[in-house]
Amino acid sequence: MPASQSSATNQIGRFTDTYTTFSGADIVCCFDNVVIGTLSGITYSVTREKAPIYTMGSPNPRSFSRGKRGIAGSLIFTVFDRPSLYNLLLKNVDNDSMKYFTRSSNVLPGFDSNGNVTHRGITPPDYQTRDIRSAFPYYADQIPPFDVTVTFANEYGQAAVRSIYGVELLNEGSGASMDDIVIEETMTYVARDVGPMYATGQPRDGVLDFTGVDSDINTEIIVP
């Protein structure tokens, strides 16, 4: 019996003790400590200014100077019966760290500082006050910066992780057409830093090892 178990373990090791790859079905994405189940795609790009330095007597550059770096990307969500980040915002409706500061007249278009409907369209001068108050975001660009943690785990027990830090949402857009079988919502963002993707180790006693993952979420994935 022990011999047969050892043989089966060696056969499994042919797949688990090697390099592996991941697909989109192996990915779970978290915004801070909240799992975003409607996210269907995420991209990022890193660009940096580099310029050649020339001197007299040579047509070729002597060196290259390095300038600013920019990190940006996009988020693609599948829309069901509510906005993509609706549950995330609703869960933190009483969280002051999720709010932003604005004029009392700009809390919502057509509403006063008490939430009463006052008009339609542009805010009249009578309601354009200088009072500042905290308000709950209703546009994506009003959401405070957050970190994105992308975890990868496949059927063989291989796992990896990557993080994007200080994500600021810029644009959001969506639409519907007779030719679309699903409705998607797209957002673009800029970020302060992006971490490398690295493997998080082999399973230990049936539990994937996510040691070193900088997140508040429970990142232990039970392997059947």
Q: What is the mean pLDDT of residues 31-60?
A: 91
Q: Where are the beta strands (DSSP E) in the chain?
A: 27-31, 34-35, 39-53, 63-79, 100-103, 132-135, 146-153, 159-174, 183-191, 193-194, 198-199
pLDDT at 207 over 70: no
**Could you read off the pLDDT of 86-129 as tens digits, one per residue?**
777 776 666 666 677 776 666 555 555 455 555 555 555 565 55
Residue 224 has a pLDDT of 31
Give the best-scoring range by mean pLDDT among 49-53, 111-115, 175-179. Answer: 49-53
Q: How far is CA 126 from CA 105, 112, 119, 123, 159, in A?
A: 9, 10, 11, 8, 58
pLDDT band at 222 (very low <50, low <70, confident <90, very high): very low
pLDDT in tens, 117-168: 555 555 555 655 566 767 777 788 888 888 999 999 888 788 899 999 999 9
Q: Which residues belong to CATH 2.30.110 in the chain?
A: 22-51+61-95+141-215
Supply the CATH classification number for the domain 22-51+61-95+141-215. 2.30.110
Residue 10: what pLDDT? 60
Predicted local confidence at residue 9, as pLDDT = 56
pTM: 0.68
> Tokens 């409705």, residue?
183
Kindly provide the b/e burial profile for residues 31-62, where b requires at least 16 CB atoms within 10 angstroms of the residue's own CB: bbebebebbbebebeeeeeeeeeeeeeeeeee
